[in-house]
Chains A and B, each alone.
Chain A
Amino acid sequence: MTENSDDITELRPGLWDTVNDRYPGSMITKADLIPLAKAAKPLSASRLTFVSTSGVQRRGTMPFDTVHPVGDYTFRRVPSDSKPGDLEIHQLKYPTVGAKRDLNVIFPIERLRDLVNEGFIGGLTDNFYTFIGYNMDAERLERTLAEDIAAAVEAEKPDVVLLAPA
């Protein structure tokens, strides 16, 4: 908190009320909270994986379903050694202009490799994981997609997971 924090204008006043009004019942409320795990070793000795809602996927794979009214509950594996040119974005709900110029602004695959080369991160898993954020069935999202991604991530035995919304 800064001294003048009271003067800061909220960019989207009443945002959550708006979401509730537009999408009644879509807000996820959970009584239980699972705290973040503490890192077992320094980042420079850790293997990292990346989970993103960016809708980035390898060219030639089944596009994320951006038209389905209830959402897409699948994920894609993106090899962590992919070149940006090997990847494309299927995502309807966020601006992709910047990401098309430089994919790293939404899916920092090259920056993560840079950090490995600099020794800041110990290494990367073979794959990263992506899905799209338009999933209106929160229960299904938790029961299927989240569990599927968790199982896939666990199989690669990363030490840390970078989670990034798009």
Chain B
Amino acid sequence: MSLTYLKEAVEAGDTEKLIRYVRLHFGDGNEEAGRKEIDKAWVEALKPLLDVPPTDRAFVLKTLEERDVATLAHLYFHLHFYFVKRSGEWIHDGEL
């Protein structure tokens, strides 16, 4: 999708077009696959927290406080692929 197309969607509040773009990215052009990939990443993010292990929450809060929103958004996309890879089920042709 062109940037114009996406920015028009933002202007119009057309979130369906935006989330479709994300699903297509995560699913390598297959929207349904992308939807499953998003679910997979969240499941993988949930698993390590079930036993409530100690986490570096100070780091998390400091990062959220100090970093700009674009960097955090970029990190969010990185985290998606991190957890997908961690799941051991890799649908992509190539690698990160």
Contacts and interface: CB of A to CB of B under 8 A. Distances in A.
A69 B21 contact: yes
Interface residues of A, number: 25
A92 B92 contact: yes
A60 B41 CA distance: 27
A97 to B, nearest CB: 9
B4 interface: yes
B72 to A, nearest CB: 13
Tell me the interface secondary structure of chain B in the complex: helix
B24 A96 contact: no
Determine which residue in A22, A90, A91, A96 has the highest number of CB atoms from chain B within 10 A of its CB, and name it: A22
Contact of B5 (A24, A90, A92): A24
Interface in A95-146: 95-96, 136-140
A82 interface: no
A23 interface: yes
B86 interface: no
B93 A95 contact: yes
B62 interface: no
Interface in A26-84: 26, 55, 63, 66-70
List the 6 closest pairs (A to B, CB-CB), nearest first: A25-B2, A25-B5, A95-B93, A91-B94, A92-B94, A67-B77
Interface of B: 1-5, 21-22, 24-25, 28-29, 31, 74, 77-78, 80-81, 92-96
Interface of A: 22-26, 55, 63, 66-70, 89-96, 136-140
